Amino acid sequence: MSDRTVDRVAQATPKRVARKIRGLSDRAIAWIFISPTIFLLLAINIFPLIWTIQLSFTNYKANRIGREVKDVGFKNYERILTDSDTWLNMQATAHFLFWTIFFQVLIGFTLAWLINKKFKGNDLWTTIIVLPMMLSPAVVGNFWKFLYQPQIGLFNYIVSWFTGKEPSSFEMLGSVTLAPWAIVIVDTWMWTPFVMLICLAGLRSIPDYIYEAAEIDRASKLRQFLTITIPMVLPFLMLAVLFRGIENFKMFDLVVQLTGGGPGSVTELTSINLKREAFEKWRTGYASAYAIILFVTVFGLASIYVKALNKVKQR
């Protein structure tokens, strides 16, 4: 029997305590079970968040221990929001967000649709396709930098093989026009499987009888696709977009390893700039204000989006 562990635990517990535990009400047990989790979340998430808000109104620098800390009111916020570089970073982030989501949805949905044709061995190939998203983004970013080397990297040679262009004639990470796309390519390579999996779940959730009914009504395949498949998968797709959006707004490791924000600042996403301000320049107060601005932006956008998602679900 499998009850031995329990008995041992019960025996090992001093009698008085044991009786107490046995006698606990459900309500007390519920709180004992939940409170460690809540406490940990308060300590690691909520308390730091409040602290960040407080720091954001000061000129504190964490690397100057003896320096006087002054209250500066909204000056940090003012400085950030009036700095044109902030808006350039926001633009870079928006470009990255929009195009990664666009390609991931496009390719991810197509793949899911194809896999749903249930050809032989589709399970095996699905697992292979999923591999990239399980890897460490830092390690992946670092290695893609190597693949993008114009003379020694594989990527340029493969492109050259298909297009006939000289491999060293373009620099994926070094050119102002290509670098924003280079990071989109790597992110798409890594995360398309994520969107694909969710779409696949959506496709598989559509009961066959709906198609059968449509077939009886002699609806064309295209019409079935537009009026059944797309609307039924849409809530799943929107969920995928939400997850990718939040993740890519936080994006740091992959891009830091790939470009470090360069060339110039064209791939300097907001999270990269924040890391520089906070832990390289050590402008703690300023960086805290920046963090709060980003946090409010993500939370605001996400809540609007979730409202829209719920509407789609209700339909």
Which of positions 67-106 make contact with other proteins (CB under 8 A)? none
24 binds other proteins (CB under 8 A): yes
Cis peptide, bond prior to residue 193, ω within 30 of zero: no
Shorter beta-carbon distance to other proteins: residue 25 or 315:
25
Shorter beta-carbon distance to other proteins: residue 152 or 226:
152
Shorter beta-carbon distance to other proteins: residue 98 or 296:
296
Rounded to a whole number of angstroms, the minimum distance from the CB of residue 41 to other proteins is 5
Do 68 and 81 form a contact (C-beta atoms < 8 A)? no
Task: Identify the residue among 97, 111, 182, 183 touching other proteins (CB under 8 A).
Answer: 111
Closest among 45, 222, 215, 193 to 109, alpha carbons compared: 193
52 binds other proteins (CB under 8 A): yes
Rounded to a whole number of angstroms, the minimum distance from the CB of residue 113 to other proteins is 8
Q: Which of residues 213-242 bind other proteins (CB under 8 A)?
A: 215, 236, 239
Closest among 27, 191, 207, 25 to 100, alpha carbons compared: 191
Do 103 and 248 form a contact (C-beta atoms < 8 A)? no
8 binds other proteins (CB under 8 A): no
Shorter beta-carbon distance to other proteins: residue 19 or 102:
19
Task: Identify the residue among 15, 208, 307, 314 touching other proteins (CB under 8 A).
Answer: 208
Q: How far is CA 112 from CA 183, 201, 248, 313, in A?
A: 24, 9, 22, 21
Question: Residue 198: what residue type?
Answer: I
Closest among 228, 217, 220 to 113, alpha carbons compared: 228
